[in-house]
Amino acid sequence: MKGAPPRLPLSVPAATALRTERVSAAPGHSSRMPEESSPRKTPQNVPYQDLPHIVNADGQYLFCRYWKPAAKPRGLVFVAHGAGEHCCRYDDLAQMLTGINLFVFAHDHVGHGQSEGDRMVVSDFHVFVRDSLQHIDLMKKDHPGLPVFLLGHSMGGAITILVACERPNDFSGLVLISPLVVANPEVATPIKVFAAKVLNLVLPNLSLGAIDPSVVSRNKKEVESYATDPLVHHGGMKVSFVIQLMNAIAKIERSLPKLTLPILVLHGSPDKLCDIKGSYLLMDTAQSQDKTLKVYDEAYHALHKELPEVTTSVLKEILTWMSQKVSAAEKAPHS
């Protein structure tokens, strides 16, 4: 993939995207559509009027992606991507889920991919959670009565955990691929944590280094794809962003006992980006009666982009689990 990304086909009618924009504008914002005067454009210079999008409570435009099944949807699945990447990297996973008639939807978080905002900068981690709930609420309004599932990878795992904790009774299941639950002990030593907090006060925009593509996957083709993807942020992670991740981790640790929904966790034991200890902590602490952890002994971080035998296993696990939960939700008496 070189140069500007191709314009993606709308998975929902353009009218839906425009209507979504109107209803999602924050209270107090002008109801006049900004496109009327000067079209708002993505960081890649594509007009948002040509793309599915929502407008968050801060007036920022977020690029959205929708994967609609051919038949009537049996459920909704919200996908939250990880730090520095974007939602189009979940196309294979989403297409698979449409095969069991699930309507999959996602957006690029603020400061990511084709959404507005300084790259990998967020004023507060809760913005990611708030925007996710906004998008979920819009989809629930359009598809009332359907079970809603959450799927998050890495930082997206942290987002979906906090989304589930904020609305404990709203979701039928949570799938986590290598979730961010605890800080990497090699990175978050007490001295480094203290230094980061001090730096955040004086040099919040200081870069602490970029994600090494070679630790994302053992699949060389996937590493190359990640390293050359123009929608992936290849620059360093700012001190202020790291602080927000640390804040999220602290909140997750306090919130895990609130989790009561069915959970499937998939994690590679040598993961260098999100420590597997976090998944063990989640399994020990979440109050869910239905919780499963599948460990892949040699796999790296992006299990859905790993060596074929791992990725095939991961996708099959997710598909089987989702199928069971959707069937259970359909049989459950409606309140």
Instruction: For residues 58 and 28, give the distance between their C-alpha atoms in angstroms, rounded to a whole number.
Output: 11
Active-site residue 301, yes or no? yes
Q: Which of 154, 240, 255, 279 is catalytic?
A: 154
Sheet holding 75-80, edge to edge: 53-55, 61-67, 102-107, 75-80, 148-153, 173-177, 263-268, 291-296
Strands 53-55 and 263-268 turn out to be: unpaired
181 is written with which tokens? 């639950």
151 is written with which tokens? 């799927």
Neighbours of 165 (CB within 10 A): 20
Torsional sign, CA 298, 301, 303, 305: negative
DSSP structure string for 170-181: S-SEEEEES---
Active-site residue 271, yes or no? yes
- Nearest-5° Cα angle at 169, 18 to 131: 30
DSSP 94: H
Strand ranges (E), 9-59: 53-55
Neighbours of 195 (CB within 10 A): 13
Q: Which of 214, 190, 188, 230 is nearest to 2 (CA)?
A: 230
Q: Which of 86, 107, 267, 301 is catalytic?
A: 301
Please name the amino acid found at residue 249.
I
What Cα–Cα distance (Å) separates residue 72 from each residue in 14, 35, 99, 141? 20, 33, 11, 16
Q: Which of 271, 275, 279, 288 is catalytic?
A: 271
Residues known to be catalytic: 154, 271, 301
